[in-house]
Structure 1
Amino acid sequence: MKNRRMHPQIELTEAVAVVAIADPHLPSQQQAHNLARSFNWPLQVFSGHKELLDSGMCDVLVVSSPNMTHFEILMDIITHPKPHHVLVEKPLCTTVAHCAKVIDAAKSRPDMLVQVGLEYRYMPPVAKLMDVVKGGILGQVKMVAIREHRFPFLVKVNNWNRFNCNTGGTLVEKCCHFFDLMRLFASANPVRVMASGAIDVNHKDETYDGKVPDIIDNAYVIVEFENGSRGMLDLCMFAEGSKNEQEISVVGDIGKGEAFVPESIVRWGSRVEGRDGVKTLKAEDDRIKYDGLHHGSSYLEHLQFLSAIRAKGSQAPAVDLHDGLISVAIGVAAQLSIEKGRFVTIEEVME
């Protein structure tokens, strides 16, 4: 868990300071020390989040710990006497029930701002496509198709991300991003989900403490929304031979828009003008100086989070706890659909 402090006396135009980390993993602690020394930052290191909370050092926390730890950490933060603003990495929690408990607990803390790290919203091509959709150029959105063809899951501490019990399942762990985007593009809440997926290539020859990984590496997911629009996810995690990792298509009743990552290309056109009328642009954001793994979106997310904090209650977080809950609920429904071989309603998993 990384932590940032904004001292009460500093002006709104001044920077924040990273003052502490809490991490039980010794190699991670050492990496944090080394990074801090390279920038000549003073850094306090704690072996657990409770010690950091009790230290009173931080005003703002970033929770970037393994998925299965989010619930306990968030509940400890929310129930702690000292208020802390929080940015929690996706998914909010690994289960719908835990998400709901966090939301209930947060209702008693109006002095805290909690934002969920669904940063794909901030990728420049995705943000531009969202502007196109909101501008009405495509008309009423009817279909959203998202293809992610990428590399396998990376190696994480103690290989925690190899098992559904820790991640919530691939369609929760990884794909909550895309379900969040579908909901934004459709401008509606999900009703039911149908999915097909399997473990076909990755991790099949791995064992950890005698256990074989159970996370799926490919899937098709269909999501139906309350306004009649539909979303479709095409996920493959053994498709490194791709020019783009994400391809997003949004089709309305009068036009179509597309975004490509990392090419950062956006295209849109109308049915009336046809192929000759399609417009293309390179989506860029001058605030991004270093792309990073998520093409600058994590940086932009932190800027928005800081802006919401500095607004002192007058600005809601861009991605709130309800957004986090719904993105997890769709993933849970998709995982259950694969297990049961049938449509699963959102109402079913919310209960």
Structure 2
Amino acid sequence: MNKEINSTEIARLAGVSRSTVSRVINNYTNVPEHTKQKVMKVIQQYNYYPNLSAQVLAGKRTRTIGLFMIDSGRVSGDSISSLLLARIIESASSQGYYVLTHIVRDLKEQEEIRTIKEIFYQRRIDGGVFIGAANHEPLIEELITEGFMVAIVDQHVPGRTEPNRIVFNFDNETGVGQAVDYLVSLGHTRIGMINGDMNRYSGPSKRRGFQTAMERHNLPVNTEWILPGDFNEASGYRAIKDFLKAGTELPTALFAANDSVAFGAVRALKEAGIRVPQDVSVIGFDDHFRSEHHSPPLTTIKVDFADMMDQLTKTLITSIERGTDTFQASAAGTQLIVRDSCQSVTTA
């Protein structure tokens, strides 16, 4: 990380005065456009952002962590996302840290990228947490390469074990195995799956877990019963609607990549006159707040999100304060929660 670059050096490289650099940074209107572009080119080339305070310049911590939730929808409308946000804030607060929270709608937008980089490079935070990003997100990789302390939920990048990379995952393959084992114990052999977002680590890892569990029970995987999804209710609804239009024979059971996907799938099945669980059993993953109160109450694989976020926040803050020279990765355990959305084939 280049910690030596400052406005004087930027001015020298751009061939302008330091005051001109200051006017460009503060977006003054009395700077000719060609001069502004020349200065901005150097600023972007060297990832220069002005520090906010003498305290930061002196190398002291801000006692603030950044929380970046990548979600194109409404975070406030999803109880899991709300739980993750609230738990990190509570955990950080208990350790004397503030949380700067930023909801990111699209990490491909250049303005979003610049905003996030400014937060890091201006030293407004001591480290950051990313939730909901693609498994290989160029911005995250750049920040880690530049030496910033970054914690990521749901990532697996083989060979990348930098000490400033902290990774917390769900034990997807074990959890999906528990789901398939339970369905098989009920006599199901014709089992399908609605996938999650395949750009995120949980998408392909759950798909692998499903494949492995089916092979363990010597059951074939019917590709017609592997449906696309995106970790949200609308995608589960759309997957079933499209599947039913194709006229393909239904499996007797469906595993949904998360509970939100399951909610959408159940709604679409009901609209088509297909009963859950009498005609099709449905099992989810997460144990969403709504699952217990759903109709029917959803059988699911529970993840202890609260404990996971506590451990992640504690690990990040400890690494900020004490430093670390080893890569840190953890996985949250899973537990089968039996409710009413699945039943035995013999009683169907």
- Compute the TM-score of the two structures, normalised by the length of structure 2: 0.36
Give the strand-richer structure, 1 or 2. 1
- Compute the TM-score of the two structures, normalised by the length of structure 1: 0.36
Give the helix-richer structure, 1 or 2. 2
Q: Which has the larger radius of gyration?
A: 2
Structure number with the bigger relative contact order (C-alpha 8 A, sep ≥ 6) is 1
